[in-house]
Amino acid sequence: MVTGASRGIGKGIALILGAAGATVYITGRTQKEGDAWLPGTVGATAEEVTAAGGKGIAVACDHADDDQVRKLFDQIKGGQGALDLLVNNATLLNTGSTEQKPFWEKPLGVADLINVGLRSSYIASAMAVPLMLGRGGGLIAGISL
């Protein structure tokens, strides 16, 4: 599973896994092009993963919502029974976070990425480990800004 894989680094990692023949759960909030200020959707990434040789499974998930994350891991358990790899990449980018200026001049709302970055990585990891232990282990990777 790759969180935050609608675009950017997460999408790139999902595509590499797909090219290796992996089944990849792609999560993100953007389901329809134009709903976010940056291009990319979970469905488009899943299609590209499948075209690359893997199996892409798009799951719309807001990683700031623990109930949505819990449902995601229930879906993985029901569909795959286990999890080999979790790539924690989800974060909350807003227009202020990508402005080319010193951090102290950016809007304080940029700090919201802590909740959908650091915190959501912890929550996803805590939910992933039981699915990994059933298979004897797994790998958790964390992408940071």
Q: pLDDT tens digits, residue range 4-53?
A: 899 889 999 999 999 999 999 999 976 676 676 666 789 999 999 999 99
Residues found in the chain: 145
Pick the CATH number of 1-84 from 3.30.70.380, 3.90.1300.10, 3.40.50.11540, 3.40.50.720: 3.40.50.720
Q: Which pTM was predicted?
A: 0.85
Contacts of 142 (CB under 8 A, 6+ apart): 88, 121
The mean per-residue pLDDT over the stretch 73-83 comes to 95
The mean per-residue pLDDT over the stretch 116-127 comes to 90
pLDDT tens per residue, range 41-51: 899 999 999 99
Q: Name the β-bridge partners of 132.
A: none
Cα separation values, 59 from 3, 41, 98, 103, 108, Å = 10, 10, 26, 32, 30
If DSSP codes are grouped into helix, strand and coil, which group holds residue 29? Answer: coil
- CB–CB of 143/89 below 8 Å? yes
Contacts of 119 (CB under 8 A, 6+ apart): none
Q: Give the model's pLDDT for residue 116.
A: 76
- Asked whether the predicted pLDDT for residue 112 surpasses 90, the reply is no
Domains in the chain: boundaries:
1-84
